[in-house]
Amino acid sequence: MRFYKRIVGLAVALSATLAPYLMCQAASSPEGLADGPGIWMNMWNYPSVDYEVFCQGLHAKGVRNLFIQTSRSNTPAVANPEKLGPLIDACHKFKIHVIAWSFAELANPTVDADKLIEAARFSSPTGQHIDAVAADLEKNLAAPKVEQYSKRLRQALGANYSIIAVVYSPLNLAPQVATIPWKLLDHYYDVIAPMNYWNSKYKKLDAYEYTKATIQKVRQLVGRPDVEIHIIGDAMGTNSSTITPFFKACQEGQVTSASLYPNFKMTAEQMECIGHYSEYFPVNSRFRLAALREMIRNGTLESPANLDPSTAMSRGDFYKLLVRHMYAGKPQAEAGMTAETAANFLDHNGILRAANASPEGLSGTMPPNEALRVVASTVDFKASGRKPQSAAAHQPRKPSGHWFSQPAFAEGNSTPNVKPLNYLDAAQIVLQASSGLR
């Protein structure tokens, strides 16, 4: 009974001892984008209805981020300030984050940057502020100009202010795309937001395939698996027939969040699609990414192959993550640990009750509920106060001819209609159980 209570607790709630971790994350990396969908508005496209009515409608569809254009290179720093202030107040009343965006041509990077800095410092009638800013970079993308602009933004707004880089999809064939300095953007910006527009007037692209390829290519170009990606979807003449596959591709690619950019304003059908966002995105996407980032940083988790955290994680790699997290900095979690020694350690201490550490079993994938059970059993072992033996020192038990002898761990390498555990799943599960694992 205790075993299953552990599973339920791990599956439905964060451990109370994660509060210091989350406070630390909040201090070093403010929210910026909220977990949830967003929509985009141009500076000439403010709502024509009462702002509170407008925001209440967004809230009802689950919209958590409103991207409102405050300027471009040939306008004042804050266009329509008399409208922006009340809109910020209405959004915040309904728990919607406001992100100011500016189209920067970068003919004069310093002047362009100062416009977005002024927007970040803008105050509403009640003293409310913008939650983050987004730099729309589509022209003059040579590294020196982009760096001059980006460095000024970061220095003025500070290390803890959330700044988003809006750029072309790397699959876009426009000549300037080849000059985008991806690693430089990653240095200065908290989020990379590719404009993933499949409904081109020149060529109609497959929304699902184009989105999946965009996500993969951004991770490759940036060069790290824990880059935060926000995908801007195409709402320019599109409907559910392509927006739904777009969301599906975002789900499979495990991006953190997404939004839609319309021609003028969102249609009723597009808003209905937004209402299904939660079916494709975890409610805690940013927490999962923060967990992955922290575990890669502290060495308890090895980077996934091809820098793609949406790929399936092997059973052996999950065992290594679990043991390293349990005994970080101690002999049991030595750097040379293999999947076999991690499995033997868990077996010897009665956590897995595995018959042997077969290559087939360790290289296979596992469904998330199996990972939850392993973690729950590990928490029970730690709670017992028993002294563990080093994984490296332990020799496996004599094989009994099958991989798992305990029915609770007998799912095998795959389960019908259940996606295997990926790296973001693993990071979330282990971090949620931190209080019981250490």
* Per-residue model confidence as pLDDT tens digits over 53-63: 999 999 999 99
336 and 240, same structural domain?
no
Q: Which of 282, 310, 330 is the last residue of a domain?
A: 282
What is the model's pTM? 0.87
| Claim to verify: residue 15 and residue 71 sit in the same structural domain | no
In the prediction, which pLDDT does 332 show?
57
Q: What is the pLDDT of residues 122-172, one digit of tens each?
A: 999 999 999 999 999 999 999 999 999 999 999 999 999 999 999 999 999
Residues 358 and 278 in one domain: no
pLDDT tens for the 438 residues of the chain, in order? 444 444 444 444 333 333 333 433 433 344 689 999 999 999 999 999 999 999 999 999 999 999 999 999 999 999 999 999 999 999 999 999 999 999 999 999 999 999 999 999 999 999 999 999 999 999 999 999 999 999 999 999 999 999 999 999 999 999 999 999 999 999 999 999 999 999 987 778 999 999 999 999 999 999 999 999 999 999 999 999 999 999 999 999 999 999 999 988 999 999 999 999 999 999 899 999 999 999 999 889 999 988 999 999 999 999 999 998 888 766 555 556 889 888 988 888 888 865 446 778 899 999 999 999 999 998 888 888 887 765 444 454 444 333 333 323 334 444 556 789 999 999 999 998 887 776
In a domain, 25, yes or no: no
12 with 48, same domain: the answer is no
pLDDT at 382: 84
Query: Is 230 contained in some domain?
Result: yes
Q: SS3 sequence, the chain?
A: CHHHHHHHHHHHCCCHHHHHHHHHHHHHCCCCCCCCCEEEECCCCCCCCCHHHHHHHHHHCCCCEEEEEEEECCCCCCCCHHHHHHHHHHHHHCCCEEEEEEEECCCCHHHHHHHHHHHHCCECCCCCECCEEEEEECCCCCHHHHHHHHHHHHHHHCCCCCEEEEEECCCCCCHHHHHCCHHHHHHHCCEEEEEECCECCCCECCHHHHHHHHHHHHHHHHCCCCCCEEEEEEECCCCHHHHHHHHHHHHHHCCCEEEEEECCCCCHHHHHHHCCHHHCCCCCHHHHHHHHHHHHHCCCCCCCHHHCCCCECEHHHHHHHHHHHHCCCCHHHCCCCCHHHHHHHHHHCCCCCECCCCHHHHHCECCHHHHHHHHHHHHHHHHHCCCCCCCCCCCCCCCCCCCECCHHHCCCCCECCECCCEHHHHHHHHHHCHHHHC
Q: What is the pLDDT of residue 415?
A: 53
Residues 276 and 300 in one domain: no
Residue 193 in domain = yes
Residue 145 and residue 63 share a domain: yes
Per the structure, how many domains does the chain have?
2
pLDDT of residue 398: 44
Q: Residue 236: inside a domain, yes or no? A: yes
**Are both 265 and 235 inside the same structural domain?**
yes
Structural domain harbouring 422: 2-20+292-437
Last residue in a domain, options 282, 304, 328: 282
Q: What is the CATH number of the domain that holds 270?
A: 3.20.20.80
- The reply to whether 7 and 98 lie within a common domain is no
Q: Which of 247, 264, 282 is the last residue of a domain?
A: 282
Q: Do 221 and 250 lie in a common domain?
A: yes
Tell me whether residue 26 is in a domain.
Answer: no
Residue 287 domain flag: no
Residues 268 and 407 in one domain: no
Instruction: Give the pLDDT confidence score for residue 54 in this predicted structure.
Output: 97
- Are residues 315 and 246 part of one domain? no
Residues 334 and 392 in one domain: yes
- Is residue 241 a part of any domain in this protein? yes
User: Could you tell me if residue 342 is inside a domain?
Assistant: yes
